[in-house]
Amino acid sequence: MTPSADDVLDALDPEQREVAAHPTGPMCVLAGAGTGKTRAITHRIAYGVHSGVYQPQRVLAVTFTARAAGEMRVRLRDLGVGGVQARTFHAAALRQLHYFWPQAIGGAAPEILPHKASVVAEAASRLQLRLDRTELRDVASEVEWAKVSLLTPETYAAAARRARREPPGMDESGMARLLGVYEEVKGERGVIDFEDVLLLTVGILQDREDIAATVRQQYRHFVVDEYQDVNALQQRLLELWLGGRHEVCVVGDPMQTIYSFTGASPRHLLDFGRTHAGAQTVRLVRNYRSTPQVVDLANRMLSTAPVSRRNAGVELAAQRSGGSAPTLTALDDDPAEAAWVAGEIRRRVEAGTPASDIAVLFRTNGQSEALESALSEVGVPYLVRGGERFFSRREVRDAIVLLRGAARTDNGEAALGHLVADVLTGVGWQPEPPASSGAVRARWESLKALVDLAESLAATTPTTRVADLVRELDERAAAQHAPAVDGVTLASLHAAKGLEWPVVHLVGCSDGLMPIVMAEGLDEIEEERRLLYVGLTRARDELHLSWARARTPGARPSRRVSRFLAPLSEVLGEGAISEPKRSGGGRGSGGGRTARTARVRHCKGCGAELVTATQRASGRCPACPPTYDEALYERLVAWR
Ligand code: ATP
Ligand code: MG
């Protein structure tokens, strides 16, 4: 039965209901991890539709990742809503660019570069710069930063000096020249890059009033998730979509700003009230996602930040009860850590936990390889998120070629799932999983992910055709968001934002990886702390942290536990903070975690016993928080 507008509100707490039940006018939701921000905005859309205020096709919901967009579409479907556009900035812009290209520019839209590397290398060689692979990669990131910050070769140098950027292997004017040549090379090759998709859309909307009017007529209500990480280019696009209107709801958490290095800034979130007069601000503090132990650890970790960057007493209030303590385990070296994690996961999967309930998170993509081989060794299927591996797999590339062909002959007679399954038999698809593990199984998992994606698109929008599936795959390939397979998720902390899993392993919790060795100034170190906060708060039921004393077997143990975790021995135990766990010495002891008895203290407000150290320190229980506005104000001031 389709839920009514009131049913949609039932599943929310009073503050979330405030968000959902007022679907018009500018609104800003400022709240911590797992407090139901995404849920609140999804229900706001559903309420808007069911109460007749929104027409679904007039709503554009912008999410940070393609997976988040997919999850929002599914959540909306479960709330009886279809037809809402839930997309990343990139995917939404790409659609508009493709649609308006013939009218605005003429001809077919150009191909999108999957990587900047070859164009950057050509530009560097034309300028006779000798850059190694790492420098080329860093130059590509600098090009990205410049473009999302709306800089040109002419304005780059001054802005880079102000932002204290250090262009790799050259000074600011050298980098400005390289930017110019990079654009030339791209033009000669007739391709555009990832940022051009947004830049060109912005350009068209700025120059063509008629097109801007059509887009504004199409979309009347906007919702933006993870708004703390919006960059200047995305913000500009949003402003053009709005065209001076204020029908926008943004949600974000300044403590989860983790993309500053790519040009994102929480400034837009914090200034929202000023740029949208009369905006309503709603704050959420109840964490519904995680066990009290995980919430306590996350709160404590933020509370050990330097005073100027502290969370100013705004702490998450756990809503769930029960659960086990997070564990911290030290291993001898990286391969031993990967093997330990894989062994733990296998044991758990054999005991009945679905592999897809488990994630292994890490700081750098380079850490993925050891984990992949350790998981393959124990026969557990996995998927790397945010990596290009999925789309570079042979079977996936072949499957997409077949689907492109099928899109040309698809006459829409739309069981899409069956049609796709039929087409994919051409690359060896069969509905039953193969008995063997390893490569054959991995191949099957990839194809299953494509079939599942087709089925889920068809379930959300019954009119979906093969061409829509191919477009979705192109968008995902450009954004490097693989569809989910039924396996363990391997993801960088950056790629994990907004997501949650019942069991999370966070590996590499040592100084040098967490924070990363390149992070030097206070701003960079604190961004690393927020990244760890994002990681900790992905866990619903279990959180297992680990680190390795050395990189390779037999090497001198030279690493220390992460400086962010070292002060938390009261929760994590002394053992794994100071002593390495010997590989082969048994599994999963949690590295010497011990239960502590804390002095009983009572809340100043209501007299209830205080259960966490942070509560004991502040003298207040979650029901009687310190005056929230003061605390939030301090927190925001710290951000400016
Ligand atoms: P993040 O900061 O990580 O993006 P978030 O604030 O967007 O988190 P959600 O993902 O919306 O949080 O919600 C976290 C979890 O809590 C989800 O599993 C969601 O279903 C659940 N949840 C949120 N609000 C409620 C509620 N009122 N009752 C029960 N469960 C809830
Ligand atoms: Mg969210």
579-614 per-position pLDDT tens digit: 544 444 333 333 333 223 234 566 555 556 666 666
Q: Tokens 């959180």 map to which residue?
A: 543
Residue 468 half-sphere exposure toward CB, CA atoms < 13 A? 17
Q: Can you say whether residue 550 is alpha, beta or left, with left for phi > 0 and alpha for psi between -120 and 50 degrees?
A: beta
Pick the closest to residue 249 from 37, 532, 501, 543 (CA basis).
Answer: 37
Task: Tell me how far the alpha carbon of residue 33 lies from the centroid of ligand 1, in angstroms.
Answer: 8
Mean pLDDT check: name the lowest of 313-317, 487-491, 515-519. Answer: 313-317
> Would the CB of 253 count as within 6 Å of ligand 1?
yes
Q: Which amino acid residue places its CA nearest to atom 17 of ligand 1?
A: 289
CA of 12 to the centre of ligand 1 (A): 10
* For residue 509, pLDDT beyond 80: yes
If one compares 364 and 607, the residue with the highest pLDDT of the two is: 364
The residue behind tokens 């220390």 is 560
Is the separation of the CB atoms in 129 and 178 below 8 Å?
A: yes
Taking the CA of 9 as reference, the closest ligand is 1
Say yes or no to pLDDT of 45 above 70. Answer: yes
Indicate the DSSP class of residue 434: P
In short, whether 184's Cβ falls inside 6 Å of ligand 1 is: no
The amino acid sitting at 526 is E
Q: Is the pLDDT of residue 97 over 90?
A: yes
**Predicted TM-score of the model (pTM):** 0.80
Residue type, 70: G
Residue found under tokens 């994919």: 424
| Single-letter amino acid, residue 203 | G
Q: Is 535 in the pocket of ligand 1 (CB under 6 A)?
A: no
With a cut of 90, say whether residue 389 has pLDDT above it.
no
Instruction: Decide if pLDDT at 486 tops 90.
Output: no
Residues with Cβ within 8 Å of 585's Cβ and at least 6 positions away in sequence, in order, are none
pLDDT bin (cut points 50, 70, 90) of residue 352 is very high
- pLDDT at residue 635 is higher than 50: no
Q: Which residues of 203-213 are buried (b: 16+ CB within 10 A; e: fewer)?
A: ebbeeeeebbe
pLDDT at position 537 is 98
Whole-number Å distance, alpha carbon 32 to ligand 2 midpoint, is 9
Give tens-digit pLDDT for 181-237.
999 999 999 999 999 999 999 999 999 999 999 999 999 999 999 999 999 999 999
Q: Given this model, what pLDDT does residue 570 score?
A: 86
- What integer pLDDT is reported at residue 636 of this predicted model? 42
**Tokens standing for 409?**
């002959």
**DSSP-derived 3-state class of residue 630:** helix
Supply the residue whose CA is at minimum distance from atom 4 of ligand 1. Answer: 498
From 354-363, 443-452, 470-479, 527-536, the region with the lowest mean pLDDT: 470-479
Please tell me the number of the ligand nearest to residue 502's CA: 1
Q: Is the CB of 87 under 6 A from ligand 1?
A: no
**C-alpha distances in Å from residue 343, one per residue of 258, 411, 422:** 31, 49, 37
* Amino acid, single-letter form, for residue 155: T
Least confident of 3-7, 305-309, 375-379: 305-309
At 110 the pLDDT is: 86
Dump pLDDT digits (tens) for 163-192. 888 888 899 999 999 999 999 999 999 999
Q: Helices in 111-230 by DSSP H: which ranges?
A: 117-126, 133-148, 156-162, 172-189, 194-207, 209-218
More confident residue, 574 or 258: 258
The response to whether residue 541 sits with its C-beta less than 6 Å from ligand 1 reads no
Distance 284 CA to ligand 2 centre (A): 12
Decide: 15 in ligand 1 pocket, CB within 6 A: no
Ligand 2 centroid to residue 253 C-alpha, Å: 9
List the one residue out of 198, 188, 204, 237 whose CA is nearest residue 101: 204
Q: Is the CB of 37 under 6 A from ligand 1?
A: yes
H-type alpha helices, 79-165 = 89-104, 117-126, 133-148, 156-162
The position carrying tokens 């909306």 is 76
Mean pLDDT value of segment 330-349:
95
Residue 396 has pLDDT above 70, yes or no: yes
Q: Mutate which of 12, 17, 39 to test ligand 1's pocket (most atoms within 8 Å of Cβ)?
A: 39
> Would the CB of 12 count as within 6 Å of ligand 1?
yes
Whole-number pLDDT of residue 619? 59
Residue 48 vs residue 133, higher pLDDT: 48
Q: Kindly indicate the confidence band of residue 36, based on its pLDDT and cuts at 50, 70 and 90.
A: very high
Q: Is 635 in the pocket of ligand 1 (CB under 6 A)?
A: no
Q: Which of 242-246, 386-390, 453-457, 511-515 has the lowest mean pLDDT?
A: 386-390
Atom 26 of ligand 1: nearest residue by CA position: 12
498 CA distance to ligand 2 middle (Å): 4
Residue pair 199/207 in contact by the 8 Å Cβ criterion:
no
Q: How confident is the model at residue 638 (pLDDT cuts 50, 70, 90)?
A: very low
Per-residue pLDDT at 73 exceeds 70: yes
Q: Calculate mean pLDDT across residues 246-274.
A: 92
Whether the per-residue pLDDT at 532 is higher than 70: the answer is yes
- Cβ of 289 closer than 6 Å to ligand 1, yes or no, is yes
- The residue whose CA has the least distance to atom 3 of ligand 1 is 498
Instruction: Detail the residues annotated as belonging to a binding site.
Output: 31-38
Verify whether ligand 1 is closer than 6 Å to residue 3 (CB atom). Answer: no
Which pLDDT value is given to residue 298? Answer: 95
Q: Predicted confidence band at 458 (pLDDT cuts at 50, 70, 90)?
A: confident
Confirm or reject: Cβ of 287 under 6 Å from ligand 1. Answer: no
- Distance (Å, rounded) from C-alpha 288 to C-alpha 274? 30
Longest C-alpha distance within the chain, in Å? 73
Question: Which stretch, 4-13, 52-61, 115-124, 251-260, has highest mean pLDDT?
Answer: 52-61
Percent residues over pLDDT 90 in the chain: 55
* Ligand closest to the CA atom of residue 500: 1
Residue 628: the pLDDT is 40
Report the nearest-CA residue for atom 8 of ligand 1: 34
| Binding-site annotation, residues for ATP | 31-38
**Mutation choice for ligand 1 from 9, 13, 28, 38, CB with most ligand atoms inside 8 A:** 38
pLDDT at 65: 82
ipTM of the complex: 0.99
The mean of the pLDDT values for the chain is 86
